Amino acid sequence: MAVKNPKACSHCSFITDEDECPRCGNKTSKNWQGYVIIVDARKSEIAKRMGLDVNGKFALRVR
Ligand SMILES: [Zn+2]
């Protein structure tokens, strides 16, 4: 998946190029900073801390 102008979901931080989050349907924002890539959500401490249960790319901060 090629993402040209990625946006991040204001609710779950999922990074996508859609206007609405494909995961939770909330609005996405272009105003976000930093990201983590979760490759194994069940074993990842970061995923646990962020409350994530799926693999993917997630913004650290969304405004
Ligand atoms: Zn979302």
Residue 2: pLDDT band with limits 50, 70, 90: low
Distance, CA 16 to ligand 1 centroid (Å)?
9
Distance, CA 28 to ligand 1 centroid (Å)?
8
- Does residue 37 or residue 50 have the better pLDDT? 37
- List the chain domain ranges: 7-62
Provide the terminal-to-terminal Cα distance of the chain, rounded to the nearest Å. Answer: 24
d(C-alpha 20, C-alpha 10), whole Å: 10
Q: Which of left, alpha, beta for 44 (phi over 0: left; psi -120 to 50: alpha)?
A: beta
Residue with tokens 């249960």: 53
Distance, CA 25 to ligand 1 centroid (Å)?
6
| Tokens linked to 4 | 């040209």
CA dihedral over 49, 55, 61, 63, signed as positive or negative: negative
Res 3 pLDDT > 80: no
State if pTM tops 0.85.
Answer: no
Architecture, CATH, for domain 7-62: Single Sheet (2.20)
Give the model confidence (pLDDT) of 4-31 as tens digits: 789 999 999 999 999 999 999 999 999 9
Distance, CA 32 to ligand 1 centroid (Å)?
13
